[in-house]
Structure 1
Amino acid sequence: MSRSDDTFARKVIAGACAGGVLLCLALLAMQVFGSMPSPKPGSAMLLRWSPFRPPDSYSVGPSATSGFMILMAPAAALWGFSVHMRCSDAQIRHCLKGVALLVGLWMLDVLIKYRCPINSPQLIAFLWYLYYVPMTFIPLLCLLCALRAAALDARPWAVFLRRVAWATSAAIIALVLTNGMHLQVFSVDISRSDWQEAYIYNWGYWLAVAVYAAEYLGFFALLFAASRRRLHGVIALLVMTAVPFVAYCLMYALRNELAIKTNFSLNYSLIVVMLLELALDLGLLPSYSWYGEAFSRLPLDLKVVDRDGSVAFATNSAGPVPAPVFDLTLRVAQSRTHDRVTRFRTSAIPHTLFKVYGVSGGAALLGEDVALLDERRRVLTARQERLRRSNEVLRHESGVRRELWRLESEERLLSSIEGSISDKVSHMRELLAALPKGSEADERAQRRDMLTEVKLLVAYCKRKGALVLSERSNPEFDRDRLQLVFNETASDLRSIGVDCAAVVNLDGELPSAVVSVLYDCLYDVASVALFAVDPILMLFVSGDERHVEMRAALDVAQMDAARLEAAAASLREDLKGSRGTLSLELSPTSLNAAIRMPVGDAARGGGGDK
């Protein structure tokens, strides 16, 4: 603790003692003044027992318990100060100090009423009504203490109950203090000389008593619900102490002669303070002897170090502090910074996390045992490493599978391409193997024709392979793309001496499989034109959403009839595996073919010709 904090505590104690001394002196002065001899007859203020009191004068005699009340007021103040030093909960502490203040003011009110000579019945009645201010607020404060001790004060129903209790208490006090106007609490005629004994309880009084009883019942019930099982016997002790007091209060309310002769205010205050003190001492309400004891009982490894390096407070659970940790804590204490928390660890205590908080006058060092967290971190790190290795294996396995799938896909694609052009490749090999070796004109002409056919076969294989690849990557052909394919074929035919033109008029797109069949049919017609004299080939492709049609018109000056028949057979063979139809017109100098195919899935079915 710093020197300024210690000075403040001393000032608080000195102020409380000075206040208690002044209160004792004031009460003693009132006692002396109230015990003065009776004034002479005819004076304005006469004591009740004076034989010279005129009939119209009024005063109050001294109470036999005035000395106890004089002691009770400073005792309540000292008890309130002890509560301030012992109670660890701020809200309960404020409520208990409020009880102590109300008890002291109540004793002061009683002493003024009975020890000061007063001639005004209205003032005496008002002092009597003021009794009900502490009588109303003390049970309310007890109920609030129990709510807080039970940790129920933040519940919505508890907040509503607290507001209702405050409003009810305020209404009762207002009703009592204004009794002289409506007489709904006490029916009393203050014009009578014996009005302090001759009064009747009305409904307002019984309402107040019912509220007090309900609040005290709530106090005991909440303490019983909030306490641990081992403290239930303690509450039974409190109840046993309170039962005689309840009987005494009931006798006083019923105007029992024995109870009426006692000092109810003093007895009430003593019993309430005693019950609250028992609740504090027995652990029903949070209480410690001093803040140092409260600090030492904290279940934490916590120390408070001042700027000089000495340990001001330490909990019972606090362990030894390594020198580097203590040096860093001292630097934080001397830096006077309160807006940040310094966290660090040291190898001297491997499983402890140290936190240094800057506080007024020094620094607080908190050590947290993180062995469980370290173990969990170690387990999680090992698990993360295993998962990382598993991910590497899975990633490598996935890469191998993707590469294998790619190779298999390429192999299937290559097999598909080879299957589509295998017969043409075999024919090219046969042609190349059968090329004439001689240099005669007939042999050169035959060799040129065979190489031209090989060139056409090479162009066919190139286009056919591209169509097979298109089925995997881009299977749909629109008008522009199909026009490009047919224009390239027409250009290849023109390069070998066949006049050719192609026109494409499509509204939609064609599948690659349909285009592949059309291209096979185009090659069959082109193979006839290759060996004809002065060939002219016209191609026209049209279609809609359901069908596509290709018309091929070949006009020649002369052509081989055997090749013409072979081309017709090839056309029929090309359409054999699809639902396409063939319309064919043959003559010695012309070939007109119309191939019509459905657009969509290449459903298998028999082809036909007309």
Structure 2
Amino acid sequence: MRTAINKKRIVLYAVCAFFFCLAGVFQAVDSSLPDFWHALFALLAHTILISLVVAWGVSLIHRMVRKDLRAYFLMVAVLILFFLVVRMIRYGLTRDTDALSRYLWYAYYVPQMFIPPTILLAAFSIESKKGKPLAKAWYLLYIPAVILFLLIFTNDAHEWAFALNFENGFSYEHRTVFYIALAWEIAVTFTSLIVLILKCGISACRRKTWIPVTVFIVCVAVSAVCFLTDTPAFKIPELLCFTCIVMIESCIAIGLIPSNDEYENYFYRSAYSAVITDENLSVIYDSEKSISTDKNLLGRAAKSPVMIDENTRLSAEKIHGGYAFRIEDLSKINEINAALSETNERLSEENYIIEAENELKEQKAQIAEQNKLYAKMDEVTCEELKRLDALLSDMYRKTQLNSTEYIDKMRFACILAAYIKRRSNLVMLAEKQENIDVGELSLAIKESLGFLSLTGAECTFDCAVSGKIYDKTAGVFYDFFEACIANYEGLPSAVIVRLSKRGDHLVLRIECDNKTEEISEKIKSKFEEYNVTIQTDDEEVYYSLTLPEGGAV
């Protein structure tokens, strides 16, 4: 395939060289022919040269991969085309002695002055990153070109480029500006070639750099021979212009200038399974890995993607002049989707397990909190629980039902049970908040007094405090109250309980008639770390507990 393409390129170059030489032959002989044949041969020569340049410009559009390089070389093609058109107008429509003819001749140097710096800019842009324009300072290369062209275009005023002679027809001699311009063209063009060679990073291309160098030297030599012999076949301007074309083509051929003229081969060798069709869905190009498809299937795919099987999809894209169809292998995507689905199922199971574990941990935490709460309840009520258990056991074993002793013990058991219930309630409230309402303590004392009144005791409670109180303070007050009144052997017959505030302290005062020395000693021993006072008179005993106000408001 590669050999066939190279042969095709060589044949194309040979055909172009043949027509270029044919145009030279026409120009060489037309001056000696009769007027009709002279005009015909001149027209054919101009047509051939212009056609070659137009064909070359069109080929650049298809071959240049980068837009910036395409723009530079298309500018070169346009300038050469401008030269050929101006040259044709000059020789076909004007005479040498006309001023218009001279200025058309001067216009030849527009392409000659501007093509070399354009090629040099293209050479510098090859190294720049794709899409990044050249620095604007590089465009200063056009300044010498502008100056030289202006000097040539105003030659009638100073004759620094050409010495004009209108005697016996029209003739001229080259002067300093012309030689400077010629040297400028050759030097900048050769510099462009050197820059292309130096900036080439591909070793295979660098080994072939002798080709464009040889082509350049040969073209310069041919131009020099034609200039010295003053041959009518080719003039210096057109030789220099076509020297640029030949040099650019040689650089493209060996890869110094990036291009692509093997699109069909690249498409065939590509890793994609694709076909390109015309508007009638007839296959024009196909890749090596493409599969056979009928027009019905292509017609359906042109409207929307079609699934050939579960792992293959045919999609289409509208392009200029037809459609591009591609076969998409979805097997890997399906495998990934299947793996993702399996992973999602596994994750769902794991999430369910994690949720169950979290729920179990939460339940364990709740149970632990409950156990902790029950432990605190048991800690503060264990003494009363033991007393209640002993009392009930004794009643079960020794006491007869409906006896006075049984009823008295049952009433005392109710007092103990009320304390256990209310004290446990204070512990639970303390778990939720550090300060509890004084009303909770009041309710606890009232309930205990209510059961005490069943024994025939006269009970009175007065609370002169409101707001919040520390949970520990409430518990100590209730424990103190219970220690004072809940004594089976010394139940009071009358009790007055008062909770009041004295300065920054709270005072619980209990007045009753159970003044036994044993009870007093027991209370002092149990609450020795607190401010407890016990006062007695002939009939009454006064128990008093004073604590810091703390949370009371």
TM-score, length basis structure 1: 0.67
SS at match of 2:243: helix
**Cα distance, 1:245 vs structure 2:** 5.3
SS at match of 2:258: coil
Q: How does 1:122-141 map to 2 (within 5 A)?
A: 123=100, 126-139=103-116, 141=118
Amino acid at match of 1:527: A
Please point out which of 535, 542, 548 is paired with 1:591.
542
Amino acid at match of 2:285: F
Amino acid at match of 1:503: A
Question: What percentage of aligned pairs have identical amino acids?
Answer: 15
Do the aligned partners of 2:117 and 2:188 also contact (CA within 8 Å) in 1? no
Give the corresponding residue for 1:500.
Answer: 461
Please point out which of 489, 508, 526 is paired with 1:573.
526
Do the aligned partners of 2:275 and 2:325 also contact (CA within 8 Å) in 1? yes
Q: How does 1:21-420 map to 2 (within 5 A)?
A: 71-84=48-61, 92-93=69-70, 95-110=72-87, 116-120=94-98, 123=100, 126-139=103-116, 141-142=118-119, 152-155=129-132, 159-161=133-135, 163-165=136-138, 168-169=141-142, 172-173=145-146, 176-177=149-150, 187-188=160-161, 196-200=173-177, 215-222=192-199, 224-225=200-201, 228-242=202-216, 258=228, 263-283=235-255, 284-288=257-261, 295-306=267-278, 308-321=280-293, 327-333=296-302, 342=305, 344=307, 346-347=309-310, 350=311, 352-359=312-319, 362-420=322-380
**Aligned equivalents of 1:98 and 1:315: distance in 2?**
35
Amino acid at match of 2:459: V
**Aligned equivalents of 2:230 and 2:61: distance in 1?**
35
Do the aligned partners of 1:503 and 1:540 also contact (CA within 8 Å) in 2? yes
Of 420-429 and 96-105, the range deviating more from structure 2: 96-105
Q: 1:268 to 1:360 in 2, by over 3 A?
A: closer
**Cα distance, 1:327 vs structure 2:** 3.6
Do the aligned partners of 2:163 and 2:175 also contact (CA within 8 Å) in 1? no
Do the aligned partners of 1:518 and 1:550 also contact (CA within 8 Å) in 2? no
SS at match of 2:205: helix
**Aligned equivalents of 1:120 and 1:409: distance in 2?**
116
TM-score, length basis structure 2: 0.73
SS at match of 2:328: strand
Amino acid at match of 2:442: F
**Aligned equivalents of 1:98 and 1:264: distance in 2?**
20
SS at match of 2:326: strand
Do the aligned partners of 1:106 and 1:134 also contact (CA within 8 Å) in 2? yes
**Cα distance, 1:475 vs structure 2:** 3.1
Amino acid at match of 1:241: V
**Aligned equivalents of 2:158 and 2:448: distance in 1?**
123
Structure with bigger helix share is 2
Do the aligned partners of 2:116 and 2:189 also contact (CA within 8 Å) in 1? yes
Give the corresponding residue for 1:533.
Answer: 493
Amino acid at match of 1:198: R
Do the aligned partners of 1:303 and 1:366 also contact (CA within 8 Å) in 2? yes
SS at match of 1:302: strand
Amino acid at match of 1:102: L
Give the corresponding residue for 2:6.
Answer: none
Do the aligned partners of 1:172 and 1:208 also contact (CA within 8 Å) in 2? no
Task: Give CA-to-partner distance per residue, 1:41-91, whole Å, 9 cap, x none.
Answer: xxxxxxxxxxxxxxxxxxxxx9xx999766433322233344456556666
Which 5+ residue runs of structure 2 have no aligned equivalent? Answer: 1-18
Say yes or no: does 1:524 pair with 2:466.
no
Do the aligned partners of 2:388 and 2:413 also contact (CA within 8 Å) in 1? yes
Q: 1:209 to 1:268 in 2, by over 3 A?
A: closer
**Aligned equivalents of 1:241 and 1:184: distance in 2?**
38
Do the aligned partners of 1:330 and 1:363 also contact (CA within 8 Å) in 2? no
Q: How does 1:418-567 map to 2 (within 5 A)?
A: 418-435=378-395, 437=399, 444=404, 446-472=405-431, 474-478=432-436, 481-494=437-450, 496=453, 497-505=458-466, 510=470, 512-527=471-486, 531-540=491-500, 549-556=505-512, 558-562=513-517, 564-566=519-521
**Aligned equivalents of 2:33 and 2:141: distance in 1?**
40
Give the corresponding residue for 1:48.
Answer: none
SS at match of 2:284: strand
Task: Give CA-to-partner distance per residue, 1:292-332, whole Å, 9 cap, x none.
Answer: 556445442111345655323312332344x6xx6443124
Amino acid at match of 1:315: S
Number of aligned residue pairs: give it: 508
Q: 1:451 to 1:206 in 2, by over 3 A?
A: farther
- Aligned-residue Cα RMSD (Å) equals 4.8
SS at match of 2:492: coil
Amino acid at match of 2:380: S
**Aligned equivalents of 1:125 and 1:493: distance in 2?**
136
Amino acid at match of 1:568: I
**Cα distance, 1:167 vs structure 2:** 6.5
Q: 1:296 to 1:129 in 2, by over 3 A?
A: farther
